[in-house]
Amino acid sequence: MLRATRELQYQCCLDLREQGKVARFGLMSNHAWHHDPRHLLFLLARYKFVAKMLSGKRRVLEVGCADAFATRLVLQEVDAVTAIDFDPVFVADVLERMDPDWKFECKVHDMLDGPVFGRPGAGPFDAAYSLDVLEHIPPAREHVFVGNIAASLSEHGVLIVGSPSVQSQVYASEPSRAGHVNCKDSKCLRGLVEAHFHHVFIFSMNDEIVHTGFYPMAHYLFALCAGPKKPTPILNESAKSNQVRPYEDQL
């Protein structure tokens, strides 16, 4: 195996390999790389938008992190991230791949069960974001979902929700459409989050470009929300506690 590059400035690439720091994809990002590499570009662009909007925040909650492959983009801009997902398979994958240089909390929690209060004494989160999750939430429970996120935030907290538009679904694959039970247009998305936040700003997105163009032509929509109205948290009857526990404690 070659151990030196011809140009000195690239030697750091081999040095990283020698240190055993060759990163690997998570479960979802690996699937995208094999079946639709462009989707990784769109994924990273969405997380970059979130990272820039939340830059400087202290404690940030990610709702529905899946394999958390792009979470470190947000971690670059904020002090700390707590990532949650309702599927233990993905949380286990995240914890297995956790890089000590890019460490963040990752726990199993279903936002439909109740809000997230994080570590005792830490207080509510300054911000939250949820990408590609809302479209999987049954319409009958969407206010539970958004309301419990709002209840996890401080008085001046902000939330970013990203979801494929309903107009985009004619171009979606059959497996995607099967799971997308709640895609919305801009008006319906605004109406949902305005029930829980005082201020809402809607952005369009096509491929990796975020803009303020004509909403019906947007493939993806962002809702940037500020000032939670603090509704009463809605707990699932099956939830024994609204305090999130580490994945390891739930085995």
Mean pLDDT over residues 8-35, rounded? 94
Average pLDDT, the chain: 91
Between the CA of residue 14 and those of 17, 22, 100, what are the distances in Å? 5, 10, 20
Domains and CATH numbers, the chain: 56-235 (3.40.50.150)
User: Two tokens at 241?
Assistant: 């506690």
Looking at residue 240, what is its pLDDT? Answer: 44
User: What is the DSSP pairing of strand 59-63 with strand 125-131?
Assistant: parallel
- pLDDT, average across residues 66-77: 98
Q: Are 224 and 158 in contact, with CB atoms under 8 Å apart?
A: yes
Q: What's the burial of 230, exposed, middle or buried (CB within 10 Å: 0-12/13-18/19+)? A: middle
Least confident of 76-80, 143-147, 167-171, 217-221: 167-171
